[in-house]
């Protein structure tokens, strides 16, 4: 509030008037006197301070209406229209009635205004600032309300807890009574829980043990007083859990995991909960003890963590492999094109050959990674696992040193699964070679095939569906693996072998392939105790039509494979590829461009294989040709070859072989084609 000078003494005021004025100015309350015609007669300093009228307005004889109008204009009466506000107030004042109102000024201050008529008409008005007073009152009211509600809530809480207490007391009494009545019953119950249940006192002496203690530690449940935790757990385990017992006896419920050994020599992962038992005065007098076997739970948790890790690595490897594959395709393609372009140039081939060879080794690694990442297409079919294992063992045996015995145990009955036979063979070869590497000197490797029905728990542990499975175990008696190696055995590029002798991709590929086939791999190993790798695959029905047995290593003779149409504009390349096709048992027709090939396709039935270059002079490129032939059924199989990679991504619907290729690679590519 702005300070105002003392109100000017009325003009020509006597000292008496001046004294009176000085007295009025000392008042805290504002004061005005209007005469019967509503003109200002007197006022004081507090009035000016409280209402802040301009000093030129406050003069003797100033009309009441001027003050009202001034107020209305500065918003003291809210939204009320000015004329209306003035008229109403002047009319009211002229009635000269006592009044007592409160008004909040626009600046938030609250004014109390009381008016008293004067005997000879006119009135005196007092103005007091009651802002603080009202605010304090309001705060007080609020505080009272809050207090009341808090008291109400607290009362309700107290009532509720009283009731609970009463219930608990009742229940306790009932329990105590019923326990007294049936301690036998309690023993029956605790003995039937597959857990250890016990009670020990503050001094750590046991008062109760259930039958679990008999099963695990050979203790007599009827003689709890003979039990000592240090004795049945062994000093090492006991020292480990001692701090937990201390905490429980200090009044805290504690749960902790540890390993213990049973009388039968088993090592179990267990979880114990200790709950303090308090006397009425709150003193801890003993502890309830509950111990569960969580071995299986822990194992399956570890499996899940590992599966998640493998999943993440698979995604990473898959992404990398895809990109590198494209890069290598470009490198190999361009090197091949360079070699094609300068077939006679000794210097060129001297540089390109090692480069191509290195790039192909890279591509080989990438293929392994893609198998791990489950990105290699599978050619699944019904496979008799026993027969496959026997033939793999026959093939691999000559590659092993004579001091190693390799034996298949397949049984007589066929066991079927639905799997990519070639990839399963590769997986088994990998496992057998690992077993060989792990067995220094002489020893034996056994490959067993068995049928097994997985129950819920076992299936879950392997992350498989319960039901019939085929299992192949590859077992060696070699050096085995420690826990750290075992934990990483499936990681791509993890190897403990000398640089150059292991890629670390073998187990990763086995894992990827088996998982992609809906199966699981399980490895059991310990240092010095050998290793058993088990491949679990879902069992399949015996197929209605038995698949024809392919004689391994058989090379077809004559034109047994049918007729191949070879389309290639480069005569030299055509010559080389033609030789390969002949070696593979095809009769070969040649065409030098798309147009020529189209004519041949239109005139000739029974073409088995169309093998075409992509880039050729003329209007028809290899891609168009191959699509047409396929869509019109003019060739049973189509295969493109190219030295250039750039178009590869648009070619996803047509199989493609990168040039240059060996006869074996051409054979494999044809094998992959589905008719
Ligand atoms: P690599 O054979 O190239 O090392 P793998 O993925 O096949 O790659 O195997 C990875 C690692 O797993 C091996 O280096 C070896 O430490 C361990 N391993 C695999 N199989 C066995 C086994 N049968 N016995 C002992 N260790 C093995
Ligand atoms: Mg290996």
Q: How far apart (Å, rounded) are the C-alpha atoms in residues 19 and 314?
A: 102
Q: How far apart (Å, rounded) are the C-alpha atoms in residues 181 and 191?
A: 18
Angle at 22 between CA 20 and CA 27, to 5 degrees: 100
Q: What share of the chain is helix, strand, coil (3-state, %, to 5)?
A: 45, 25, 30
Confidence of residue 179 (pLDDT cuts 50, 70, 90): low
Q: 495 or 194: which carries more pLDDT confidence?
A: 495
Q: How far apart (Å, rounded) are the C-alpha atoms in residues 491 and 314?
A: 9
What average pLDDT does range 97-111 have in this prediction?
88
Nearest Cα to Cα of residue 533 among 469, 473, 611, 481: 473
Residue 2 has pLDDT above 50, yes or no: no
Position 432 scores a pLDDT of 94
Residue 556 has pLDDT above 50, yes or no: no
Which ligand neighbours the alpha carbon of 533 most closely?
Answer: 1
Residue whose CA is at the smallest distance from ligand 1 atom 16: 496
Which ligand neighbours the alpha carbon of 503 most closely?
Answer: 1
Q: Which residues line ligand 1 (CB under 6 A)?
A: 430, 434-435, 438, 476, 478-481, 485, 489, 494-497, 502-508, 531
Residue 317 has pLDDT above 80, yes or no: yes
Q: For the chain, give the number of residues.
A: 675
Q: What rounded mean pLDDT belongs to the chain?
A: 84
Residue 216 has pLDDT above 70, yes or no: yes
Position 414 scores a pLDDT of 86
DSSP string, 578-646: HHHHHHTTEEEEEESSHHHHHHHHHH---EEEEEEES--SSS--HHHHHHHHHHTT-EEEEEEEES--G
Q: 143 or 636: which carries more pLDDT confidence?
A: 636
Residue 220 has pLDDT above 50, yes or no: yes
Q: How far apart (Å, rounded) are the C-alpha atoms in residues 57 and 353?
A: 111
How does DSSP classify residue 400? S
> 416 CA to middle of ligand 2, Å?
26
Position 555 scores a pLDDT of 34
Q: 172 or 459: which carries more pLDDT confidence?
A: 459
Per-residue burial over 186-197, b if 16 or more Cβ lie within 10 Å, else e, is: ebeebeeeebbb
Residue 490 has pLDDT above 80, yes or no: yes
Residue 307 has pLDDT above 90, yes or no: no
> 463 CA to middle of ligand 1, Å?
23
Confidence of residue 7 (pLDDT cuts 50, 70, 90): low
Position 5 scores a pLDDT of 47
Per-residue burial over 388-403, b if 16 or more Cβ lie within 10 Å, else e, is: bbbbbbeebeeebeee
> 448 CA to middle of ligand 2, Å?
19
Confidence of residue 544 (pLDDT cuts 50, 70, 90): low
Mutate which of 433, 495, 499, 527 for ligand 1 pocket (most atoms within 8 A of beta carbon) = 495
Residue 108 has pLDDT above 90, yes or no: no
Please give the number of the atom of ligand 1 that sits closest to the Cα of 507.
6
Task: Report, in angstroms and rounded to the nearest whole number, the Rg of the chain calculated over CA atoms.
Answer: 50
| Least confident span in 76-80, 323-327, 358-362, 556-560 | 556-560
What average pLDDT does range 286-296 have in this prediction?
89
Position 550 scores a pLDDT of 43
Residue 483 has pLDDT above 80, yes or no: yes
> 437 CA to middle of ligand 2, Å?
8
Q: Quick check: 459 and 466 in contact, CB under 8 A?
A: yes
| Least confident span in 304-318, 415-429, 472-486 | 304-318
Confidence of residue 590 (pLDDT cuts 50, 70, 90): confident
DSSP string, 406-440: EEEE--SS--EEEEEHHHHHHHHHHHHHHHHHH--
What average pLDDT does range 373-400 have in this prediction?
85
What average pLDDT does range 472-500 have in this prediction?
93
Position 674 scores a pLDDT of 59
Residue 127's SS3 state is strand
Residue whose CA is at the smallest distance from ligand 1 atom 8: 504
Per-residue burial over 249-275, b if 16 or more Cβ lie within 10 Å, else e, is: beeeebebeeebbeeeeeebbbbbbbb
Q: 444 or 542: which carries more pLDDT confidence?
A: 444
Position 649 scores a pLDDT of 41
Residue labelled with tokens 């809906």: 518
Here the tokens at position 664 are: 């074996």
pTM of this prediction?
0.48
Residue 425 has pLDDT above 60, yes or no: yes
**Phi/psi at 644 (5° precision):** -115, 135
Q: 620 or 301: which carries more pLDDT confidence?
A: 620
Q: Quick check: 659 and 340 in contact, CB under 8 A?
A: yes
Of 149-153, 157-161, 198-202, give the range with the top mean pLDDT: 198-202
Please give the number of the atom of ligand 1 that sits closest to the Cα of 485.
16
| Least confident span in 33-37, 158-162, 396-400 | 158-162
What average pLDDT does range 113-117 have in this prediction?
87
Residue 186 has pLDDT above 50, yes or no: yes
Interacting residues of 441 by C-beta distance below 8 A, sequence separation 6+:
403
Strands 656-658 and 635-642: parallel
> 432 CA to middle of ligand 2, Å?
9
Please give the number of the atom of ligand 1 that sits closest to the Cα of 494.
10
Residue 134 has pLDDT above 80, yes or no: yes
Position 285 scores a pLDDT of 93
Residue 495 has pLDDT above 90, yes or no: yes
Position 458 scores a pLDDT of 85
Which ligand neighbours the alpha carbon of 504 most closely?
Answer: 1
What average pLDDT does range 430-445 have in this prediction?
94
Residue whose CA is at the smallest distance from ligand 1 atom 25: 480
> 297 CA to middle of ligand 1, Å?
28
Q: How far apart (Å, rounded) are the C-alpha atoms in residues 206 and 273?
A: 16
What average pLDDT does range 138-144 have in this prediction?
80
| Least confident span in 138-142, 201-205, 629-633 | 138-142
Residue whose CA is at the smallest distance from ligand 1 atom 23: 435
- Using N-to-C axis directions, what is the helix angle for 622-631 and 594-603, rounded to 10°? 10
Confidence of residue 183 (pLDDT cuts 50, 70, 90): low
Residue whose CA is at the smallest distance from ligand 1 atom 17: 489
Share of the chain above pLDDT 90, in %: 32
Residue 3 has pLDDT above 50, yes or no: no
Position 319 scores a pLDDT of 79
> 434 CA to middle of ligand 2, Å?
5
> 494 CA to middle of ligand 2, Å?
10
């Amino acid at each position: 509030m702005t300070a105002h000078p003392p109100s000017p003494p009325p003009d020509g005021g006597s000292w008496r008037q001046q004294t009176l004025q000085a007295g009025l100015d000392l008042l805290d309350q504002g004061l005005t006197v209007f005469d019967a015609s509503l003109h200002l007669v007197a006022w004081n300093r507090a009035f000016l301070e409280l209402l802040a009228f301009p000093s030129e307005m406050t003069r003797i004889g100033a009309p009441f209406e001027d003050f009202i109008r001034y107020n209305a204009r500065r918003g003291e009466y809210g939204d009320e229209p000015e004329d209306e506000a003035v008229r109403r107030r002047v009319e009211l004042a002229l009635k000269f009635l006592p009044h007592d109102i409160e008004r909040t000024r626009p600046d938030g201050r609250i004014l109390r205004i009381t008016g008293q008529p004067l005997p000879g008409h006119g009135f005196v008005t007092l103005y007091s600032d009651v802002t603080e007073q009202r605010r304090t009152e309001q705060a007080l009211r609020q505080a009272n309300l809050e207090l009341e509600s808090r008291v109400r809530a607290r009362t309700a809480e107290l009532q509720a807890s009283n009731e609970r207490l009463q219930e608990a007391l009742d229940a306790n009494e009932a329990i105590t009574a019923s326990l007294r009545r049936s301690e036998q019953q309690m023993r029956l119950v605790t003995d039937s829980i597959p857990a250890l249940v016990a009670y020990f006192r503050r001094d750590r002496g046991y008062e109760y043990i259930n039958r679990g203690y008999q099963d695990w530690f050979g203790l007599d449940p009827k003689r709890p007083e003979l039990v000592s935790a240090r004795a049945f757990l062994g000093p090492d385990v006991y020292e480990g859990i001692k701090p937990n017992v201390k905490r429980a006896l200090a009044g805290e419920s504690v749960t902790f995991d540890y390993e213990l050994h049973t009388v039968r020599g088993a090592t179990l992962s267990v979880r114990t909960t200790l709950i303090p038992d308090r006397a009425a005065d709150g003193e801890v007098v003993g502890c309830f003890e509950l111990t569960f076997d969580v071995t299986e739970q822990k194992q399956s948790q570890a499996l899940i963590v590992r599966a998640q890790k493998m999943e993440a690595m698979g995604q990473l490897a898959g992404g990398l492999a895809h990109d590198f594959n494209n890069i290598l395709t470009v490198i190999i393609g361009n090197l091949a094109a360079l070699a094609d372009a300068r077939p006679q140039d000794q210097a060129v081939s001297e540089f390109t050959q090692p480069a191509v060879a290195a790039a192909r080794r890279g591509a080989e690694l990438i293929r392994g990674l893609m198998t791990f990442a489950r990105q290699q297409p599978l050619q699944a079919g019904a496979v008799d696992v026993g027969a496959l294992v026997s033939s793999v063992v026959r093939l691999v045996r000559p590659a092993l040193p004579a001091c190693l015995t390799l034996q298949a145990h397949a049984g007589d009955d066929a066991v079927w699964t639905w799997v990519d036979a070639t990839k399963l063979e590769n997986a088994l070869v990998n496992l057998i070679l690992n077993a060989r590497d792990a067995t220094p000197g002489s020893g034996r490797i056994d490959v067993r095939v068995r049928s097994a029905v997985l129950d819920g728990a076992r299936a879950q542990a392997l992350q498989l569906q319960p039901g019939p499975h085929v299992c192949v175990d590859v077992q060696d008696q070699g050096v085995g693996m420690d826990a750290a190696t075992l934990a990483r055995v499936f990681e791509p590029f993890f190897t403990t072998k000398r640089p150059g002798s292991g890629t670390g991709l073998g187990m990763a590929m086995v894992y990827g392939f088996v998982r992609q086939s809906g199966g699981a791999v399980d490895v059991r190993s310990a240092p010095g105790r050998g290793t058993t790798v088990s491949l679990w695959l879902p069992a399949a029905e015996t197929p209605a039509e038995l698949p024809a047995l392919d004689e391994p290593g058989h090379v077809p003779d004559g034109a047994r494979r049918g007729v191949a149409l070879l389309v290639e504009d480069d005569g030299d390349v055509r010559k080389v590829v033609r030789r390969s096709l002949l070696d593979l048992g095809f009769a070969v027709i040649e065409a030098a461009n798309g147009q020529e090939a189209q004519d041949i396709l239109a005139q000739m039935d029974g073409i088995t294989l169309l093998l075409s270059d992509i880039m050729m002079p003329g209007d028809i490129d290899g891609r168009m040709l191959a699509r047409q032939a396929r869509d019109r059924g003019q060739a049973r199989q189509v295969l493109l070859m190219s030295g250039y990679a750039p178009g590869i991504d648009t070619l996803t619907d047509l199989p493609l072989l990168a040039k240059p290729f060996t006869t074996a690679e051409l054979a494999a590519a044809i094998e992959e084609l589905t008719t």
